[in-house]
């Protein structure tokens, strides 16, 4: 932690504020979102498909609008979009706690998702521009605060939701309101370069090296998302009880966050000192793939039906996080390099949209593999599918690195 604090102090005020902002954003988001489905189905009594609709609107409005949010940030400057996104999420979270009709819930869900599409590309572009040659270290620090917010948010939300979910919504909205005011008053203005403000987003769509890299990285996002999908399902299955499943899933997220908080800065420094950026990306995706190789091996050994299977699941979560820690700072830096430092927010927005589509398709295929595994009695099939997807992603990025296509032309 000393290295992390020293790294934090070494950056200037805008960078420090941006990473603290991201911590606060995640605390407010994760104090509410993990408990929203239970509120919609339990307190409000919505049918399952309506719960899926409300949650799906939030995800679609965020993933589908990232390109627009990035383009607006390059056109009007980063700070206005960050402030606008936080303001919109303030209203969306407050609305979620105050309404119970389906149309109002859909509007609130859309607002919270679109808010993320506004501030996410702008935050990353601002941080990249402000950090300059220290982008890799800045994004490593960013991930520490990002993961810390994921760790703290659900704990705060659990305490508040135990009293009243509406209270959770209003507190989350109040956090975003305070964050909005703080950024208006204290975050310096940082506009995109003048060339970015007149360029068309179509220029980004013609950046072939960037598009190829984005497609190659889809597999890594499918792997990383399994900490929200397949790993929790697996933990609940092997523990066998509701209480055991809840504790196990909590341990899953806690391990992921703690590993990132403790090790990110040190690991990034070692990687930057000893390996070229492209090899760091390949190593990171390879580690992520090996996390599911652990679960594949445990399944082939017949441990799926035993509580002992919880150990490989927790180990896989730690290895998956380690792989993300190795690759993430270099991934964010590669996007800036392939963008040639122009229209950076638009590039981040399109990158997030592509990865979001990939996650959706990957989740459908993962779910199909899970269904087939249950039908044919082969529980190892989902893990095998993820190992193959990770291996393909690792190979694709390795080939891009070897052909020097991870640098701008």
Task: For residue range 133-143, list pLDDT tens digits in order.
Answer: 888 888 888 88
CA distance 198 to 71: 10
Q: What is the model's pLDDT at position 253?
A: 80
pLDDT, mean over the chain: 84
Nearest in space to 356 (alpha carbons), one of 34, 58, 128: 58
Kindly indicate the confidence band of residue 177, based on its pLDDT and cuts at 50, 70 and 90.
Answer: very high
Taking phi over 0 as left and psi of -120 to 50 as alpha, with beta for the rest, 189 belongs to: beta
Q: What is the model's pLDDT at position 397?
A: 94
Domain ranges of the chain: 1-198, 202-409
Q: What is the model's pLDDT at position 49?
A: 67
Sequence-distant (≥ 6) Cβ neighbours of residue 306 within 8 angstroms: 238
1-198 maps to which CATH number?
1.20.1250.20
Q: What is the model's pLDDT at position 197?
A: 52
Domains 1-198 and 202-409 share a fold: yes
Q: What is the model's pLDDT at position 90?
A: 93
pTM score of the predicted model: 0.85
Q: How far is CA 177 from CA 42, 141, 180, in A?
A: 28, 24, 5
Q: What is the model's pLDDT at position 288?
A: 94
> What integer is the mean pLDDT of 24-29?
88
Per CATH, which fold does 202-409 belong to? Growth Hormone; Chain: A; (1.20.1250)
């Amino acid at each position: 932690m000393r290295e992390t604090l020293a790294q934090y102090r070494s950056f200037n005020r805008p960078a420090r504020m941006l990473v603290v902002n991201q911590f606060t954003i995640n605390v407010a988001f994760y104090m509410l979102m993990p408990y929203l489905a239970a509120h919609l189905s339990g307190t409000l009594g919505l049918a399952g498909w309506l719960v899926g609709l409300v949650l799906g609107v939030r995800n679609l409005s965020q993933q589908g609008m990232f390109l627009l949010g990035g383009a607006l940030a390059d056109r009007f400057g980063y700070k206005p979009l960050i402030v606008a996104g936080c303001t919109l999420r303030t209203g969306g979270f407050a609305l979620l706690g105050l309404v119970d009709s389906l149309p109002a819930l859909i509007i609130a869900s859309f607002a919270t998702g679109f808010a993320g599409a506004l501030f996410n590309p702008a935050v990353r572009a601002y941080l990249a521009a402000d950090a300059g040659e220290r982008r890799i270290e800045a994004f490593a620090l960013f991930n520490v605060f990002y993961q810390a917010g994921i760790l703290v948010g659900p704990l705060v939300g659990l305490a508040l939701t135990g009293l009243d979910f509406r209270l959770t919504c209003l507190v989350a909205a109040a956090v975003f309101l305070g964050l909005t005011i703080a950024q208006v008053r204290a975050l310096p203005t940082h506009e995109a370069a003048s060339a970015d403000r007149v360029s068309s987003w179509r220029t980004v769509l013609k950046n072939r090296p960037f598009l190829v890299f984005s497609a190659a990285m889809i597999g890594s996002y499918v792997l990383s998302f399994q900490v929200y999908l397949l790993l929790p399902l697996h933990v609940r299955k092997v523990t066998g009880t509701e209480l055991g499943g809840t504790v196990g899933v909590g341990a899953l997220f806690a391990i992921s966050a703690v590993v990132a908080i403790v090790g990110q800065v040190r690991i990034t420094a070692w990687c930057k000192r000893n390996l070229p950026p492209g090899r760091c990306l390949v190593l990171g995706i390879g580690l992520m793939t090996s996390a599911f190789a652990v679960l594949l091996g445990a399944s082939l050994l017949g441990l799926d039906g035993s509580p002992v299977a919880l150990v490989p699941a927790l180990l896989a979560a730690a290895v998956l996080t380690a792989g993300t820690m190795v690759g993430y700072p270099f991934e964010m830096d590669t996007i800036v390099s392939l963008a040639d430092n122009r229209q950076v927010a638009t590039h981040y927005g399109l990158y997030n949209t592509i990865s979001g589509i990939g996650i959706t398709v990957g989740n459908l295929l993962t779910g199909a593999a899970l269904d087939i595994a249950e039908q044919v009695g082969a529980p190892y099939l989902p893990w095998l599918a993820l190992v193959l997807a990770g291996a393909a992603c690792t190979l694709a990025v390795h080939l891009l690195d070897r052909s020097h296509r991870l640098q701008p032309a």
